[in-house]
Structures are given as C-alpha cells and as structure tokens.
C-alpha cells in the first residue's frame, strides 16, 4: 500500500509526519463534495438576488417580474436575468426616461451576512 507523508506544524511549534494511506485519501471525492456544497451555497445566494430583483422591478402587467430567472452554471458561476427585450430600457433608461434599475441594486443589496447565512444553511 502506498502512503503520503504529510508534514504538519503543531501549535507547540513541533514538526511531525503523518503517514496516510492513499486508500483513505480520495482527493476526487473531497473535491466533488466541496463542489456540491459550493453549488448549493451559490444557489441560495442567487435565489436571494432573484427575489430582490423581482421586488425592485417596475410592474405594469407583471411580465417583467415573471420573466426574471436564475441559472446556476457551476459552483463558481450563476446568473440572474430576464429575456424581455425592454428590460434593458427599464434597467438603464432611455434618452427620454431615466429608468428604474432592479438587477444591479438586487446584487448590490447582497451582504456578507447573506452569504454567511447561506454557508451556514448548507453546512
């Protein structure tokens, strides 16, 4: 059986060696579990941004609000947005109308506390 020798530095400032069997150490499994947890945390964060964007957007018939969706692409990437053609004009305005941003403020509203809460829920 192969072994990894892991150096460690303890609080008592002594250096030691730990022999760990490769069969017990499965880096792919650890990475996979970490990726799944990160994806869950990101999903919770994106749900919050999506909810805030829906609360902040202007409502006439509600089509824009209903069209705001979230998509988690990986454990590091997600997006919140809409496919409505006029959403860009609502977010940034036009030369005739100032606009009422809803996506950017929803993201700006996200705090470290929200992120910590998502991490705690997944842990």
Residue 92 confidence class, pLDDT cut points 50, 70, 90: very high
Domain ranges of the chain: 32-122
Question: How far is the C-alpha of 32 from the C-alpha of 41, rounded, in Å?
Answer: 14
**Residues with Cβ < 8 Å from 119, sequence gap 6 or more?**
41
Q: What is the pLDDT of residues 60-82, one digit of tens each?
A: 899 999 999 999 998 889 999 99
> What percentage of the chain exceeds 90 in pLDDT?
51
Q: Which residues of the chain form beta strands (DSSP E)?
A: 3-9, 15-21, 69-72, 78-81
Question: How far is the C-alpha of 45 from the C-alpha of 32, rounded, in Å?
Answer: 20
Rg of the chain over all Cα atoms, to the nearest angstrom: 23
Q: What is the pLDDT of residues 9-24, one digit of tens each?
A: 444 444 444 444 445 5
């Amino acid at each position: 059986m192969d072994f990894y020798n892991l150096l460690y530095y303890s609080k008592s400032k002594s250096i030691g060696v730990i022999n760990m069997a490769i069969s017990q150490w499965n880096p792919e499994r650890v990475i996979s579990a970490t990726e799944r947890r990160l994806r869950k945390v990101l999903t919770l964060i994106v749900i919050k941004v999506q909810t805030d964007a829906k609360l902040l957007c202007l409502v006439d018939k509600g089509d824009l609000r209903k069209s705001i969706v979230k998509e988690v692409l990986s454990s590091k990437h997600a997006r919140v947005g809409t496919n409505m053609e006029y959403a860009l004009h609502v977010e940034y305005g036009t030369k005739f109308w100032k606009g009422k941003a809803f996506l950017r403020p929803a993201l700006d509203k996200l705090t470290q506390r929200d992120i910590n809460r998502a991490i705690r829920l997944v842990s």
